[in-house]
Structure 1
Amino acid sequence: MSIIIPGDQLPVDETTLNSKKLTVGPSIYVDPLLDNQMTISNAGIFTHKEKKTKQLITVESSSKNYIPAVGDLIVGTVLGGFGEFFKVSLSNYKPPAILSYMAFENATKKNRPNLKTGSLVYARISAYDPNIDVELECFNPTTGKAEGFGELTGGTVVEVDLGFARYLMFNENNPVLEHLSKKCQFEIAIGVNGKVWIKGGDLVTTLACCQYIEQAQRLASGELEQLLKKLWKQHNI
């Protein structure tokens, strides 16, 4: 892990980048006019992850300006319905996405979801073009099954920096959630749009979990356990 700023060279050599299929994440611009030369557009933490046949490079910065990309998993708020679609807010002060009534597991014209205004959904971005509406779906397109997508009932949402949301999502053994799992049972849905839905066993535990997630993004891993003890004592859990 290293911190880089605009103008820095990528801390990975060309041979490594050309060795496997490469996916480029946020804050790295690929210029098609300069032989796909890559430059850093925002300061942040550089990460390089490799698997057997593919690799990913990203620069995670402390930002709340979410830019959609196909395949992103998001937590959205239903703003209402029109025609055959729901309008879903992905982030404040930006146009809503659209979610078809048919974009759910086993949905038909007679059997379609009844989402109320203010409902929360966990969805995948299925289509994105800057000139048209972002499209969402609440099922796995490979299997046709919900597999965790759909309406999120109960619980509440906390907003975090985009980099922290991606950190929670893409690092399976991150200490933030590891410490929390030792303290209580909870359900969680992480959106790369900076929204994290979490649900504890009861309202008080849910509130404590939300405060923990919100404050953990500003702490070192060694301070997380102390934060949990403080919040659990504060709420008499």
Structure 2
Amino acid sequence: MATETFVLPGDTIDAGVLPSHPTQPLKLGPGLRHIPPNTITSTVAGQLCTDKRKNAVWVEYNGSRYIPTVGDLVIATVQKSGLDYFYVSLSDYTSNAALPQLSFEGATKKTRPQLSTGALVYARVTLANKHMDPELECVSSPTGKSEGLGPLNGGMLFSISLGMARRLMLAKPSEQGDLVLLDVIGEGGVPFEIAAGRNGKVWVDSKHIKTTLAIGHAIQDTDTKSLSTEAQKKLGKKIAKDVKDL
């Protein structure tokens, strides 16, 4: 169970509030910086959250600027291709990240993917610090499998707040608070796929462009207008009804 404390940028995190585990190392999430040997400071204002079960600590915030953090799942847009890397954009406020062309499941120099400018990729951040550009991967290093990472074909990309991105990425619907929109659309018999990135992006794909646009805009409206549970249910049912008429 996570606990929360409000922190400001530059605050030193009291060791007494940090979780401890007999075998797992402490995991630092977004909004925190480790200063050797033992100092941890906040880089943003928000709720300091700790999870004793996972031995993790992070700061929940809803700023407009994405700061890459190791382990984040992101949706990247290819800007150009070099000899060994794809150079991709994560947001308007960060420098391009490097994605090794062999960092895909089963990729070799002959079989590596050919990604053109504007192509979308679901990737994981593997390197993130203020002295170097971020680096990404589209394969799990331990298993060699993509595990859902890789090129996102078709569909459309929508911008959302960092807070909404985190809500969409929570594993259990019960952890997402009052976010019920997508459940209602799915229960209405509408087939669709989404991929959410911690960098404030969500990719949506469905059988019809009209449906894709409707779902993407509905997610944005739920985010920007803070739609209530009832308003989300009404909107989700309307989308499901409209799809049946296509």
The residue aligned with 1:227 is 235
Structure 1 93/224 Cα, relative in aligned 2: closer, same or farther at 3 Å?
same
Cα distance in 2 for residues equivalent to 1:134 and 1:127: 5
SS across alignment from 1:128: strand
The answer to whether residue 207 in structure 2 is matched with residue 201 in structure 1 is yes
Match of 1:212 among 218, 223, 239: 218
Q: Match for 1:224: what amino acid?
A: Q
Give the drift of 1:31. 6.0
Cα distance in 2 for residues equivalent to 1:206 and 1:64: 24
Give the drift of 1:57. 3.4
> Any idea what the Cα deviations from partners look like across 1:188-235, whole Å, max 9, x if unmatched?
111111111111221111111101111122223343102223555677
Q: Match for 1:76: what amino acid?
A: A
SS across alignment from 1:133: strand
SS across alignment from 1:219: coil
Structure 1 13/227 Cα, relative in aligned 2: closer, same or farther at 3 Å?
farther
Identify which range, 179-188 or 76-85, moves more after superposition.
179-188
Q: Match for 1:208: what amino acid?
A: A
Give the drift of 1:41. 5.2
Cα distance in 1 for residues equivalent to 2:17 and 2:130: 33
Q: Match for 1:103: what amino acid?
A: S
The residue aligned with 2:20 is 18
The answer to whether residue 183 in structure 2 is matched with residue 178 in structure 1 is yes
Cα distance in 2 for residues equivalent to 1:2 and 1:157: 32
Superposed, 1:103-122 pairs within 5 Å as 103-122=103-122
Structure 2 unmatched ranges of 5 or more: none
Give the drift of 1:30. 5.7
Q: TM-score, normalised by structure 1?
A: 0.82
Structure 1 17/2 Cα, relative in aligned 2: closer, same or farther at 3 Å?
closer
Percentage identity across paired residues of the two chains: 37
Give the drift of 1:5. 5.4
Superposed, 1:161-172 pairs within 5 Å as 161-172=161-172
CA contact (8 A) 1:200 1:209 kept: no
Match of 2:31 among 19, 27, 34: 27
Give the drift of 1:157. 1.0
CA contact (8 A) 1:60 1:162 kept: no
Cα distance in 2 for residues equivalent to 1:96 and 1:15: 35
Structure 1 142/226 Cα, relative in aligned 2: closer, same or farther at 3 Å?
same
Cα distance in 1 for residues equivalent to 2:7 and 2:124: 30
Superposed, 1:37-76 pairs within 5 Å as 42-45=44-47, 47-51=49-53, 54-76=54-76
Q: Match for 2:184: what amino acid?
A: H
> Any idea what the Cα deviations from partners look like across 1:59-103, whole Å, max 9, x if unmatched?
322212111122111100001112221110011142111111111
CA contact (8 A) 1:208 1:232 kept: no
Q: Match for 1:193: what amino acid?
A: N
Cα distance in 2 for residues equivalent to 1:43 and 1:79: 31
Cα distance in 2 for residues equivalent to 1:128 and 1:27: 12
Give the drift of 1:179. 2.6
SS across alignment from 1:26: coil
Q: Considering only aligned residues, what root-mean-square deviation do their CA atoms show, in Å?
A: 3.0
CA contact (8 A) 2:46 2:61 kept: yes
